[in-house]
Amino acid sequence: MKLLRRNFLKLAGGLIAAPALPRQAAALDYPTRPTKIIAGFAAGGGVDITARLIGQWLADHLGQPFVVENRTGAGGNIGTEAVVNAAPDGYTLLLATVPNAVNASLYEKLSFNFVRDIAPVAGVIRVPMVVLVHPSVPAQTLAEFIAYAKANPGKVNMASAGSGSAPHMAGELFKMMTGVDMVHVPYRGQGPALTDLIGGQVQILFAAAPGTADHIKTGKLRALAVTTAARMAELPEVPTVGDVVAGYEASQWYGFAAPKNTPAEIIEKLNKEINAAIADPGMKARLAAIGGEPMPGSSVDFGKLIADETEKWGKVVRAAGVKPE
């Protein structure tokens, strides 16, 4: 894994450090026809919305359509495989997210290696998660919850948006770092998991922040902490998990990737436009509406994030014995 990670970072670095070469006309003129953005998850979710928002910006500023295509299934693997096998010409892109990093360890037999077979383009946003519990749980703080869970091993049910999902992995990382024993209850998406949490069928959920504020304000659910390194602007009174569990950090993130060997000039052009998009006040507001915090940087920066996340979640998958649904 470490060797693979080094090779990936070397490849990503080459996009910037490579000596200047005569540019092909295709790279100079890109795009000259519609570009497809593959989203590996259903319409209406964070992946789909992010792909459409940035796709519209790219279309407006590069003069050609950027069309989102939802290819769902196998935790995002079907869509990812389509991009890996596409021509490396910039006309097929992937909206990459946490499951891409998780799946590298979660699935034993993939026809591709995500770190090896894609080229990072640019990060877009990072989305915090909130540790939510049902009001019946006798804990007002995260430290109290940890003590309660340790006193009741195997009696706390932890919901998730599905096996290998970002909320699931955030919970498993929490279990690993605190030593608490909670029973994982996977759902087909965050919506059903939230419904059962509100109903008291499960006790805790590491939930993507969007769509949770009203439940917190009305007292239907209690927020114990946020999973990112810094507090959320929308929930300034809620501490971070890291305030209690040193070194803990988990979040959903979205960014763009392309097939391996996509011309550096095309990747640089897309990176520049995506960074311009997430710096735009209007786009910032739209992304904030889905809980997104801009994640600017070079293609190398995004490549390092992917490599780090693949290594991090691989350790969690192996330690917890997580299996795909």
What pLDDT score does 19 carry?
Answer: 47
By C-alpha distance, which of 158, 313, 167, 159 is closest to 251?
A: 167
Q: Which of 4-18, 19-33, 249-263 has the lowest mean pLDDT?
A: 4-18
What value does the mean pLDDT take over residues 150-158? 97
The chain-wide mean pLDDT, for the chain, equals 91
pLDDT bin (cut points 50, 70, 90) of residue 1 is low
CB 5 within 8 A of CB 115: yes
Please tell me the distance from the alpha carbon of residue 297 to that of residue 301, in angstroms, as a whole number. 6
| Tens digit of each residue's pLDDT (9 = 90 or more) over 200-241 | 999 999 998 888 889 999 999 999 999 999 999 889 999 999
Residue 291: pLDDT over 60? yes
Q: Identify the structural domains of the chain with CATH numbers, from first to last.
A: 35-127+251-320 (3.40.190.150), 128-243 (3.40.190.10)
Residue 21: pLDDT over 50? no
By C-alpha distance, which of 169, 166, 185 is closest to 177?
A: 169
By C-alpha distance, which of 296, 301, 258, 263 is closest to 96?
A: 258
| Tens digit of each residue's pLDDT (9 = 90 or more) over 126-149 | 999 999 999 999 999 999 999 999
What pLDDT score does 20 carry?
Answer: 45
Percent of the chain with pLDDT over 70: 92
N- to C-terminal Cα separation, the chain: 24
Q: Which of 24-28, 78-82, 258-262 has the lowest mean pLDDT?
A: 24-28
CB 235 within 8 A of CB 255: no
Three-state SS for 186-208 is ECCCHHHHHHHHHHCCCCEEEEE
| Tens digit of each residue's pLDDT (9 = 90 or more) over 232-242 | 988 999 999 99
Question: pTM (2 decimals)?
Answer: 0.86
pLDDT bin (cut points 50, 70, 90) of residue 286 is very high
The residues facing 119 across adjacent strands are 258
18 vs 166, higher pLDDT: 166
What pLDDT score does 8 carry?
Answer: 53
**What does the DSSP assignment read for 243-278?**
GTSTT----EEEEEEEETT--HHHHHHHHHHHHHHH
What pLDDT score does 220 carry?
Answer: 97
